[in-house]
Amino acid sequence: MSTAVLQARGVRKSFGHTEVLSGIDLDVTPGETVVVLGPSGSGKSTFLRCINLLESLDAGRITVDGRDVGYDVRNGRLHELSPNEIARRRKDIGMVFQQFNLFPHMTALENIIEAPIAVLGEGRREATERAVGLLAEVGLAGREKAYPRQLSGGQQQRVAIARALAMRPKLMLFDEPTSALDPELVGEVLATMKRLASAGLTMVVVTHEISFAREAADRVVFMDAGQVVEQGTPEQVIDNPQHERTRAFLSRFL
């Protein structure tokens, strides 16, 4: 149990009167790549955002590396943390957004070194050296001085991945990282992610790219209506789904 990077138990979340997450359980072990599939509105993004507390939970519990992001355990009870303490715990969780969310007033390099300097207390020299290396790793050597608007969508998303990696996260969350991209740019981002997966990064990936799930996932989780319907290896879930809802969803990709 304590070896899991991510543990979610009975996670519930409502917006107003609609319950979006109705008791999610999920464990992710170190080095594992978990792909979350599910129809639009099934709560995939909400669940990812609950993991790093961009959304608060209504019930249940999520721990990352054995600790609650938003709470301390004292005397057998959870106690809410202050915003600054929550910020400190978020640094171990990288997140890549559908819309990239790069900082448009900073160059690619400045985007990457901002948090290592501000949060990890790295020196500018050291952070810059690592950022140059990370940019090369995502195939963008030499683009340090480019502003986000001067880069293609696929390049922007790879800068965003490098920015998240610069924090040396224990867990990376990807929320439909290729959905905002032109079809011909999807491949370069997925290739980067596959390389990270095989390098042993622990990742939870929400995506509609079934081929990525098949090739890179250690485990596929199918969500519908705020619940985990089934999970297993890509072969089990994609090629031999047990549930009618999974079959109905997958039939759209054939």
Partner 1 sequence: MATTVQDAPAAGLELDVRNAAHRKHPWRWLSALVVLVFAAQLVKMLVTNDNFGWDVVWAWLRAESIVRGLGITLMLTVVAMVIGVVLGVLLAVCRISANPLLRSAAGLYIWFFRGTPTLVQLIFFYNLSALLPKLNIGIPFGPVFTSVDTNTLITPLLAAILGLGLNEGAYMAEIVRGGLLSVDPGQREAGQALGMKNSRIMKRIILPQAMRFIVPPTGNQVISMVKATALVSVIALSDLLYTAQSIYNRTFETIPMLIVVCLWYLAVTSVLYVVQSFIERHYNRGARHQAPSFWDFLRIRPKGSAA
Ligand X SMILES: Nc1ncnc2c1ncn2[C@@H]1O[C@H](COP(=O)(O)OP(=O)(O)OP(=O)(O)O)[C@@H](O)[C@H]1O
**Which residues make up the interface to Mg ion (CB under 5 A)?**
45
Residue 83's binding partner out of partner 1, ligand X, Mg ion, none, with CB under 5 to 8 Å set by partner kind: partner 1
Q: Which is nearer to ligand X, 19 or 114 (CB)?
A: 19
Alpha carbons within 13 A on the beta-carbon side of 87: 7
If one asks whether residue 15 binds ligand X (CB under 6 A), the answer comes out as: yes
Amino acid at 142: G
Q: Does 105 bind partner 1 (CB under 8 A)?
A: yes
The torsion region of residue 100 among left (phi > 0), alpha (psi -120 to 50) and beta comes to left
- CA quadruple 53, 42, 20, 171: dihedral, nearest 10: -20
**Binding map of partner 1 across residues 153-192, x = CB under 8 A, - = no contact:** ----------xx--x-------------------------
Residue 56 CA to residue 23 CA, distance in Å, equals: 14
Binding-site residue total for partner 1 (CB under 8 A)?
Answer: 32
By the rule CB under 8 A, 46 interacts with partner 1: no
Q: What share of the chain is helix, strand, coil (3-state, %, to 5)?
A: 40, 25, 35
245 near ligand X, judged by CB under 6 A: no
Furthest-apart CA pair in the chain: how many Å?
A: 55
Site string for partner 1, 115-134 (x = CB under 8 A): x--xx---------------
Of these partners, Mg ion, ligand X, partner 1, none, which one is at the site of residue 231 (CB under 5 to 8 Å by kind)? none
State the binding partner of 56 from partner 1, ligand X, Mg ion, none, CB within 5 to 8 A by kind.
none
Backbone angles phi, psi at 3, to 5 degrees: -80, -15
CA 7/CA 16 separation, integer angstroms: 26
Among 7, 46, 192, 231, binds ligand X (CB under 6 A): 46
Residue written as token pair 């948090």:
115
Binding interface with partner 1 (CB under 8 A): 52, 54, 83-84, 87-95, 97, 99, 101-107, 114-115, 118-119, 147-149, 163-164, 167
